[in-house]
Amino acid sequence: MHMIRVGKQVLCLILFLNVLCMGSDVIAHPHVFIVQQLNIVFDNKGLAGFWVEWNFDDMFSNMIATDYDKNQNSTLEPAEVAEVKEKAFSYIAEYDYFIFVKIDGQSFKVKWIKNFNAVLKNGKLSYHFFVPCHVKAHKLFKQIVIAAYDPSYYTAIFFAQKQPALVENRDRFVIESSLKEDKSTSIYFDMVNPWALFLKFRLKS
């Protein structure tokens, strides 16, 4: 076991040195920082999906405000929100909206989202959207893993320290959850394991 750990450290060092040799375009990551909160929604049958809230750093917030708050009234009106969605959000659809889900170990592809909104408040930008993900509850536990990350690591996404994940309509279910690194997934030359919400649920007896 000791030799395995040392081998991995050496590999990471080699990868890091290779990255340094590739130039500033590669090592200048990440550029955008997001603090994320999830709101897990259950219906009568089981998991219905989850709300995602992304709170952006000052620089990205200012960039969106400059480019899309056309009347500069420090708020995003419906037409401006539609333009933000089209030009500063929808392009990540080809990357599964940076949302990666596993259901009992099997990948669930996020093909679409609902109810997108962008909000500017006190100069801070946030995105809000719903990810449909229907998983019927049974007597045995179902496990859902929800991770958010940019595979290129241009954007860094972190869970909020306070209330990183809430659950709605949980009365009919036994639910267990935890936040931890997803060791089965690695990005950025295998040097980063994204954090994920590990959620287990079943019907109450």
How far, in Å, CA of 141 to CA of 144, rounded?
Answer: 10
Collapsing DSSP to helix, strand or coil, 197 comes out as strand
Query: In degrees rounded to 5, what are phi and psi of residue 132?
Result: -65, 135
How far, in Å, CA of 183 to CA of 196, rounded?
Answer: 10
Select from 51, 47, 31, 38 the least CA-distant residue to 131. Answer: 51
Count helices and strands in the chain by DSSP H and E runs:
4, 11
- Which residues does residue 143 pair with via DSSP β-bridges, in sequence order? 200
Predicted local distance difference test score (pLDDT) of residue 29:
76
Predicted local distance difference test score (pLDDT) of residue 22:
42
CB-based contact 50:197 (threshold 8 Å): no
Predicted local distance difference test score (pLDDT) of residue 3:
29
Predicted local distance difference test score (pLDDT) of residue 37:
98
Neighbours of 145 (CB within 10 A): 21
Predicted local distance difference test score (pLDDT) of residue 203:
98
Burial 47-56 (b: 16+ CB within 10 A, else e): bbbbbbbbbb
SS (H, E, C) 119-186: EEECCEEEEEEEEEEEEECCCCCEEEEEEECCCCCCEEEEECCCCCEEEECCCCEEEEEEEEECCCCC
Please tell me what DSSP assigns to residue 192: B
Predicted local distance difference test score (pLDDT) of residue 78:
97
How far, in Å, CA of 41 to CA of 178, rounded?
Answer: 16
Predicted local distance difference test score (pLDDT) of residue 7:
38
Neighbours of 186 (CB within 10 A): 13
Alpha helix stretches (DSSP H) within 23-90 = 24-27, 58-68, 78-88
Series of mean pLDDT values for 10-residue runs along the chain (205 residues): 33 38 54 97 97 98 96 96 98 97 97 97 97 98 97 94 95 97 92 96 95
